[in-house]
Amino acid sequence: MTNLLTQPVGVSHYMAVGAVMFVCGIVCMATKRNALGVLMGIELVLNGANINFIAFGSAYLQKDSAMSLGLDGQLIALFVIVLAAAEAAVALAIALNFYNNHHSIDVDRADELKG
Amino acid sequence: MEDLAATLPMLLMGAWLLPLVSFALIVFLGPSMGKAGIKAGYLATAAIGTSFLLSMAALVLWLNGHGSELGTSHHGQTTYYTGQWYSLMEIGNLKLTIGYYIDSLTIGMFCMVTLIATCIHFYAQGYMHDELHEFTDPEITTSDGGKFTRPGRYHRFFQYMSLFCFSMLGVVISGNLAMTFVFWELVGICSYFLIGFYIERKSACNAANKAFIVNRIGDFGMLIGMMAIWASLGTFNFGDEQDATGQVLRNEQGDVANPGIFSHVRSEKNHYALKVPAGMAMLAGGDGDHDGDHDGHHEDEEGAQQAEHHDHDTASSGGSAPAGYYLLIVAGLGIFCGCVGKSAQFPLHTWLPDAMEGPTPVSALVHSATMVAAGVFLVGRFYPVFAPEVLLVIASVGCVTLFMAATIAITATDIKRVLAYSTVSQLGYMMLALGVGGWMAGMFHLLTHAFFKSLLFMCSGSVIHAVHTNDMTEMGGLRKKMPYTAITMLIGCLAISGAGIPFLIGFSGFHSKDAIIAQALNFAQANDNPLFSIFYYVAAIGAAITAFYMFRLWYMTFAGKPRNQERYDHAHESPKVMYVPLIVLAVFAVGVGWPIPGPSVTNLLEQARPAGTVATETGAVLTGLTYPNEHHAHPIPAGDTHATDAERKRADAIHTEANLVAFSTALAGFLLATMFYGLRKIDPTDVRQQFARTYRFLINKWWFDELYDAIFVRPVLVLAKMISWNDRTVLDGIVDGSVRTVKLVSRIDNLIDRLLVDGLVNLIARWTYDIGASLRSVQSGKLSWYVMAIVVGTVTLFVMASFVLRI
Amino acid sequence: MDQINWHTFFFLLSALGACTFALMVVFTSNIVRMAFFLVLSLTSTAGLFFLAGADFVGAMQIMIYVGGTMVLLVFGVMLTAQERFVSLKTSGGTWSLAALAGGALLAVLLQTAFSVDDWKAGDTAQAGQSQTTATRIGLGLLGARFDEGTSGYLLPFEIVSIHLLVVLIGAAYLARAKRRAKPSADNPADRSD
């Protein structure tokens, strides 16, 4: 077992962190009954994805730096952040509307589409 | 003259159209005209009265303009005014116009028709007063045995009367054959309406149908005649086209520019002698100018003396009639066919007696003075076109009609039927007169007959009104109860019998009947063929029979003792509105035929005589046929320079003989009737038993109705029944069979649809539904489930991609 | 004994923070605490960004996410945080299912992450020489990529601008105060629990 602290990190480590955040977000979405909790899960998912973009865009996290996405990864991560903000605004508006109509924030109550 | 050409059409158009205005007003406003439409009667009477005044004004204007020509013998072109008011349409050469043809005959007819119609309108206001309130028809029993009651139809009666007057005047004034035909049919439909006035009575209904259908038969012939004329001559106009001043339009050569039918047949260039028109000759395949041999038979008036010894060479004319001559005969016979129907001549006479089902004023107007007169009028109007052979047919038909109808009238006991057969008989007289060349005699009798026959009908109406029956065997002795009616009817009887002082003066019928008999004698003498004398004998015998049945009628009605006391007691003189018109007509019945110098009816008519018809004529097919100059049947005026002494002597002899024969036959008839019914010296029942067969023959009207029933009606009914059977069994069977087949096929189709097509569709639908229903539970509506489904799906895809597919 | 790689040390620190707080978000049932842990997790993620050389993106992560989005979320939490909604319990079945699925996904992802040798270690010694990226990103967004010689992201940038405007209006429309509808029988909100 090599000492983790002495080794340089790579894309794989970043991907592991991203995977953990992604799965946390997914589980959050699946288990939270509060609409805002679901929203937070989505934020986590997006963040997990963003970590991957940044990792692949980094110039020194891979042995062959020519394989990195370079600046494109960062730009796409920026767009994801912006879209996440927009998504958060709309989702929050929907949540408030839902709350106004149902006097509840419990997504399990929103079962009008139940077959 | 120039004034007349403009004013006469205006006046007569006014007289013609006023009844139409009255008709239109009554049609739209009739029921609201006073109580039960009583004002409709006033309106119609006022309209026809104004028409009469306008006609009289036209007559005065005419006498003022042409009076100087009266009484002089004229042999040239007839004085007339023609023109058109309105052009209906032009199709190629065919021009249909509303036009006029006005000569003294037109004006005379206008005065006669409007005067009689006015009298009848007044009379009808009294006669039809039953219709002013709820009318209970005494002759109808409803199916439950009760009386039939309906609202009064007073205004409708006057509405039809107005339309009828309009139509009749339209026939008289018409300037072309097409317009004549239109109004001819209008007259027919009006008579249909009026005969069927009591439409609820089966007999009235049948009579109206009979009149209409029988007339159609005649009109079919008329259509053929019209076609022959139009196809060959290309015009329907009677007269030549005139300019605004009444002068005939002429082209540079001085010929008539646009000749009418009359000028085509009797052209000015040919001295108005009958000649086959070029158009007819061409149509018949001739070369068009084939005027060689036929012209030779026509003498103008200078050659009239040759009438007695015409020496035309038989070789040239025996069976070689000029080309197109048969077409001329067809045209003439066709037109005459229409007249046979309308004027109730043999063999189409059966409708007229039945037509007595209409109210009596209708009988007076429609079936004595005007409608049936339309036929005679058209023969007179169309006279120039009739070839001698056609005239012979006309004379024969008239002769048969005259004798047959007169004999039937002897035995009839229905007062109106006697008069109806009398009418048929008198119409036969007119046709006979026209047929033997007596144009003036025929038209004269038409005018005088109109007056005394309408008088007789109205008198009979007055009687019926009083005793409420038509049957003469229920009457008798009414003289004391109804003096005005009795006297006026006596005048009518005298007039129709031709009473008068020989060689001097008499009732109107005396003069006209005398003229007919004289011309018949003239005709008989002019022809060597003894067969043609029949016309003379029948005319003379007819005069006797006429006198007999008329006085039989008068005696049975007014003289003797009442046969039915109850009816006698209820009888009363008719109201003033009814007997005043009788008196007016009686005056005319007496005096209308008087040969006063100047504006007498005969002189007026003579002015309208078609050009060339006084000349002696012979037939081209029947070469033995000669038509003598009608003027030579009467004393020839001293001023006539054309006549020779021999002719004068012969004319005087004919006049004397005719006068005496007419008088003595009428007297014989009168005496016989007096013996039978006046003095009761001879019992009619004895005679009836003596001549039982003849009596049965006559009382059944010569079996004509039965004959027609057997040869026309029954076969048609049998045929109809056969066709009906064919329809019901064969055609309906085919239709029903196909219907059944279609139903069967559709039932099978239905089965296929429901089991196969619907089953398939339903199966798919059920599957879809079941799958949907089973998948329904998957849609929990819970967000967490959806998210987990996504995760599971993603992982599954990933695992498959990585491990199973090894991408 | 090798020298401690400080880059790795800080990476592990940030990664540990990010993962731990993310898990805390998952396992906390109180919505307010969730929000708090989320902020911490996102901030740790920003640290990861810095360590990967994406200084501008990391800054944006803190500004937009932590400063903007999270404020928004906290507002939402406060607006809806009535007592009965603050902590909504989830059933055990759901938990176990979610854990199962999440574990499977995690396993797959981790297997993938460590399946390429090139990715396992980078040359983080260069990290100290890395340049700031703000200028280049700004130019890239305006359409110029001098480093690559290709065109930039002007069109997506504009689309995102419009998109944000639409979102702004849409959010304002959706969240506006409405007149309360009359309670009716078929309104699910009125169903008694």
User: How is residue B242 written in tokens?
Assistant: 């005139």
pLDDT at C46 over 90: yes
Q: Is C142 on the interface with A (CB under 8 A)?
A: no
Strand partners, B501: B505
User: How is residue B433 written in tokens?
Assistant: 């007169």
pLDDT at B295 over 70: no
User: How is residue A110 written in tokens?
Assistant: 């929103």
pLDDT at B792 over 70: yes
Most confidently modeled range among B45-59, B133-147, B574-588, C74-88: B45-59
B72 DSSP assignment? S
C39 burial (CB, 10 Å; 0-12 / 13-18 / 19+) is buried
Q: How far is C82 from chain B (nearest CA, A)?
A: 21
Choose the closest CB to C105 out of B784, B794, B802: B794
3-state secondary structure at position B450: helix
| pLDDT per position as a tens digit, B14-34 | 888 888 988 988 888 877 777
**Confidence (pLDDT) at C19:** 93
B367 in Cβ contact with B460 (< 8 Å): no
Q: Residue range B550-567: average pLDDT?
A: 81
Q: What is the mean pLDDT of chain A?
A: 85
**Confidence (pLDDT) at C149:** 66
Q: Is B72 on the interface with A (CB under 8 A)?
A: no
How many Å apart are CA B446 and CA B516, to the nearest integer?
11
Q: What is the mean pLDDT of chain B?
A: 80
Strand partners, B176: B237
Restricting to C residues 39-58, those with a Cβ less than 8 Å away from any Cβ of A are 41-42, 45, 48-49, 52-54, 56-57
B37 DSSP assignment? G
ipTM score for this prediction: 0.89
Q: Is C97 on the interface with B (CB under 8 A)?
A: yes
How many Å apart are CA B776 and CA A111, to the nearest integer?
13
CA-only gyration radius of chain A, Å: 18
Strand partners, C30: C87
3-state per-residue secondary structure call for B541-558 = HHHHHHHHHHHHHHHHHH
Choose the closest CB to C57 out of A22, A74, A93: A74
Q: Residue range A8-36: average pLDDT?
A: 89
Least confident of B376-390, B652-666, C140-154: C140-154
pLDDT at B501 over 50: yes
Neighbouring chains of C at 3+ CB pairs under 8 Å are A, B
Pairing, β B505-506 against β B617-618: unpaired
B15 in Cβ contact with B51 (< 8 Å): yes
Among all residues of chain B, which has the CA nearest to that of A22?
A: B791
B292 or B778, higher pLDDT = B778
Most confidently modeled range among B288-297, B330-339, B477-486, B643-652: B330-339
CB-based contacts of B535: which residues, under 8 Å, 6+ apart?
A: B395, B399, B432, B435, B436, B520, B523, B524
pLDDT at B442 over 90: no
User: How is residue B558 written in tokens?
Assistant: 């007014």
Query: Which residue in this structure is represented by tokens 């076109």?
Result: B385
C53 in Cβ contact with C65 (< 8 Å): no
Task: Kindly indicate the confidence band of residue B141, based on its pLDDT and cuts at 50, 70 and 90.
Answer: confident
How many Å apart are CA C175 and CA C87, to the nearest integer?
23
**Confidence (pLDDT) at B288:** 44
Backbone angles phi, psi at B174, to 5 degrees: -50, 135
* Contact check, Cβ <8 Å, B784/A30: yes
pLDDT at B312 over 70: no
3-state secondary structure at position B310: coil
**Confidence (pLDDT) at B305:** 37
Query: Which residue in this structure is represented by tokens 């049932």?
Result: C29
| pLDDT per position as a tens digit, B223-281 | 888 888 888 887 888 878 777 777 777 777 777 777 788 878 877 777 777 777 777 77
Q: Cα angle at B107 between B383 and B67, to 5 degrees?
A: 100
* Contact check, Cβ <8 Å, B784/C105: no
Choose the closest CB to C52 out of A14, A32, A92: A14
Task: Kindly indicate the confidence band of residue C16, based on its pLDDT and cuts at 50, 70 and 90.
Answer: very high
User: How is residue A35 written in tokens?
Assistant: 């609409």
Percent of chain B clearing pLDDT 70 (strictly above)? 91
Among all residues of chain C, which has the CA nearest to that of B784?
A: C94
Least confident of B46-50, B148-152, B450-454, B491-495: B148-152
B378 in Cβ contact with B430 (< 8 Å): no
B4 in Cβ contact with B246 (< 8 Å): yes
Q: Cα angle at B59 between B53 and B62, to 5 degrees?
A: 145
Least confident of B18-22, B432-436, C50-54, C141-145: C141-145
C130 burial (CB, 10 Å; 0-12 / 13-18 / 19+) is middle
Q: Is C107 on the interface with A (CB under 8 A)?
A: no
CB-based contacts of B91: which residues, under 8 Å, 6+ apart?
A: none
**Confidence (pLDDT) at C146:** 67
**Confidence (pLDDT) at B140:** 72
How many Å apart are CA B391 and CA B400, to the nearest integer?
14
pLDDT at B299 over 70: no
Domains of chain A: 12-108 (1.10.287.3510)
Q: Which residues in chain A touch residue B784, judged by CB atoms under 8 angstroms apart?
A: 29-33, 107-108
Choose the closest CB to C8 out of A8, A74, A84: A8
**Confidence (pLDDT) at B747:** 94
| pLDDT per position as a tens digit, B170-229 | 988 888 888 888 898 888 888 888 888 888 888 888 888 888 888 888 888 888 888 888
Q: Residue range B104-116: average pLDDT?
A: 88
pLDDT at B546 over 70: yes
C53: left (phi over 0), alpha (psi -120 to 50) or beta: left
Distance linking the first and last C-alpha atoms of chain C: 64
Q: Residue range B106-123: average pLDDT?
A: 88
Q: Is C167 on the interface with A (CB under 8 A)?
A: yes
pTM greater than the 0.80 cutoff = no
**Confidence (pLDDT) at C147:** 66
**Confidence (pLDDT) at C179:** 59
Q: Which of B215, B318, B238 is nearest to B625 (CA)?
A: B318
3-state per-residue secondary structure call for chain A = CCCHHHCCCCHHHHHHHHHHHHHHHHHHHHHCCEHHHHHHHHHHHHHHHHHHHHHHHCCCCCCCHHHCCCHHHHHHHHHHHHHHHHHHHHHHHHHHHHHHHHCCCEHHHCCCCCC
User: How is residue B113 written in tokens?
Assistant: 């028709």
Q: What is the mean pLDDT of chain C?
A: 81
Length of chain A: 115
Full DSSP string of B135-147: EEEEEEE-TTS-E
Q: Which residues in chain C touch residue A38, judged by CB atoms under 8 angstroms apart?
A: none
What single letter denotes the amino acid at residue B393?
Answer: V
**Confidence (pLDDT) at C45:** 93
B382 in Cβ contact with B415 (< 8 Å): no
Choose the closest CB to A86 out of C19, C136, C164: C164
Chain B residues bordering chain C (beta-carbon distance below 8 Å): 784, 788, 791-792, 794-795, 798-799, 802
User: How is residue B380 written in tokens?
Assistant: 């007179």
B521 in Cβ contact with B437 (< 8 Å): no
